[in-house]
Each structure stands twice: as C-alpha cells, then as structure tokens.
Structure 1
Amino acid sequence: MQTIRTLVVTGYRSFELGVFQENDPKIKVIKKVIKTAIKQYLEEGLEWVLIGGNLGVEIWAAEPIEELKKEYPELKFSIIYPYLEFGNNWNEANQAMLQKVVEQADYVDAVSHLPYQNSSQLKNHTHFLLTHADGAIVVYDDEFTGKSAYFVHDAKGYAQNHDFLLHQITMDDLENAVFDDSV
C-alpha cells in the first residue's frame, strides 16, 4: 500500500446540500467525518492537504485540519485556486469565510494566474490536483449528483493508470456518523 503524503479534500458545495447558515447541523457532521478520515491518513504519513477554496466541503475542511495540526504539527494545508481572483464575486460573508481559511493556510496559489476566462481553467485545476496528490477524500455520493461529479469522474479515470486513492464519503457514511459517537 502506498503512503499518502498529499491529499485533496473536496466535495459538495454548500448550496448542493441546502446549507445556507454556518450553524447548520450538517456542517458539524461533515467536519467530524472529514477529521476522522484525515486522521487515519496522518497515522500513515500524510503531510499535506489541498483544497480548491470552494464554498462547502472544502471550506468546512479547514477547521478540522487546524484542529489536527495541534496534534500533528507536521501537517500542512494549502489552498490551490483554479484561477486568480477566485471568490471575488461572492457576498461579503462568504468572502470573509474564505479569507479566514486563507489566513490558516500554509500555502496559497492559483493554477491559472488569470481571472476566470473559461471552463478549461477548471479542468486544468482538477488535473493539477490529481497530479500533485496521492489521493483524495471526496464527500460525494453518486446517487446525489453535484459539481463534484466532474472531479470524481476524472479521479476515477486517473486512478486507473496511476497509484491514486479515491476515498469517497457517501450520504450513508454521513448518516452513520450522526449516530456514531466515537467519530
């Protein structure tokens, strides 16, 4: 089994889960499950977690990562945006949330150093993440489609020819975590 040194964390956007308030109980469950999954890989040598900065799972992952850094100071966290000025058109509250995460990150950059121009920037971003990580934790269930379907599709294709781990967290996993106090 390969050592997972760098992991991408991605998944549903907040609106895809019907989450519009930061105190939504779904967020707590998602954070709990992400923290448990990341911790498993930390025990096996994980060093870096990468996110793209999207509202939802990616932004929510920052808090459990920060908590884990206290126990695992070797853990580093990076935001790799798909393009320059990512999130500039968001409302103030969402921009503030992103800024808080940026301040926690050990490294921040963008794959494309141009503002959004076309979907090829998003495809290049996915390719960059896949080729610069050993695996991905994706909060995504094939039965409940969303924007992460593109990442999951590309990751499955990439994993066929490369040593790449795809760890999908499904709706069942999230539901089970609600009732599992050990998580």
Structure 2
Amino acid sequence: MTNLYISGYRTYELGVFSVKDAKVDVIKKALKQEITSFIENGVDWILTSGQLGVEQWAVEVVEELKIDYPEVQQAIIFPFLEFGSNWKDENKLKLVELQELADYTESTSHQPYKDPSQLKNHQQFLLEHSNAALLVYDREFEGKTKFLYEAIQKKQENSSYECRLIDFDQLQNTIENETE
C-alpha cells in the first residue's frame, strides 16, 4: 500500500464554523492516530481534494506528521480548475496556504466547474490512484461523504481496497481518552 485517500464531512455538516471549535482538535487527533498507523504500514502518499473540513484538517495533520515521517508526501487533487474560487475570502486564503504545504497539486478536470460529471470523474480518479481510504464518516449520519463511501463499497466488490471509518463513537472515545 502506498497511496491513502482521506475525506469526510465538510465543516458545515459538522456544525463547525470556527477553527477554534473543539471538534476540530478531536477530529485532528483521531486523524493523526489513523494516518500514523497507515504511514507505519507503508503509506507514503496522502491524497485529498482540498474540501473544507476533514480534508483540509488532514493536510494540516500530515504536515505535522512530516516531522517524524519526512518521507510521507501529500497531494491535493482538485475536482476542477478554479476549485474554491466562489468561497469566502478567508476560506480561499486557507486553501492557498494548504496548497503551499502540499508536495503536489493538480486538478482532474482542467476546466472550471460545468457539471456533476467532473465530481464523479474526480472521485473515480482518486479511487483508482489510491490503495486505501480513511473517512471521517458515520453511516448513521449521512452527508456528502455517503457518495464516496458507496463508491468505495462498490470498488471493494472487485478488489481488496481498504476503507477505515472514523465514526462518531471513535471520536467520542478520542475525547474520553483525552480526559482520562
């Protein structure tokens, strides 16, 4: 295994509207534990698409992990050209900062957004170019990640693609372990 695709809930799906929200720290801690495990088992590239929320927090976590694992690299693969251009200024700025942390950035479509097929093609590209996925996703609380999770399940019918979920129970355990 060499490439890990990380995704999950968007900020608004989690009710996170500030970087100082305590939920962000919990999610980052859980991500750090799982990503470390993947790296120690041979992952050397982390792939995200730069979405607000879990994907952006994962980029920050990987950057921290590079201190102990300098061999790990990360790529941000956008679904289309000009991704994030319609976001608020502070979110655009954050995306630029994260791009500077990435070892590689590209977009699967070299055109601005025109239709949903670009998103489907992007998802397919990332699944084809990764060996496993790590999702912050709970099947009982669907969000946009549901579509990726379903695509992964379909991929697993014909391959040994690994998918680990960080669900709300695991996040709760992370909080409890922190307070002990």
Bin of the TM-score, shorter chain as denominator length: over 0.9
Task: Give the SS at the match of 1:71.
Answer: coil
Q: Secondary structure at the match of 1:167?
A: strand
Task: Give matches, 1:72-91, under 5 Å.
Answer: 72-91=69-88
Match of 1:150 among 147, 150, 155: 147
Query: Does structure 1 residue 24 correspond to structure 2 residue 13?
Result: no
TM-score between both structures, scaled by the size of structure 2: 0.97
Please give the per-residue CA displacement for 1:6-45, whole angstroms capped at 9, x wherever unaligned: 0001000000000001100000000000110010011111
Among residues 34, 57, 60, which one is paired with 1:60 in the alignment? Answer: 57
2 CA distance for matches of 1:148 and 1:43? 26
- Structure 2: distance between partners of 1:155 and 1:94: 28
Give the gaps of 5 or more residues in structure 1.
none
1:135 corresponds to which residue? 132
Amino acid paired to 2:156: A
Structure 2 distance, partners of 1:181, 1:18, is: 22
**Amino acid in the other structure paired with 1:129:** L
Structure 1 runs of 4+ off > 2 angstroms? none
Q: Distance in 2 between matches of 1:17 and 1:135?
A: 24
Count residues in correspondence: 179
Write the distance in 2 (CA, Å) between the matches of 1:110 and 1:159.
Answer: 25
The match for 1:166 is: 163
What is the percent sequence identity of the aligned residues? Answer: 44
Q: Would you say 1:39 and 2:14 are equivalent positions? A: no
Tell me which of 165, 173, 176 is aligned to 1:176.
173
CA RMSD of aligned residues (A): 1.0
Residues 1:120 and 2:117 are matched in the alignment: yes
Partner of 1:5: 2
Counterpart residue type for residue 18 of structure 1: G
What is the alpha-carbon distance in structure 1 between the residues aligned to residue 20 and residue 59 of structure 2?
A: 16
Find the counterpart in structure 2 of residue 100 from structure 1.
97
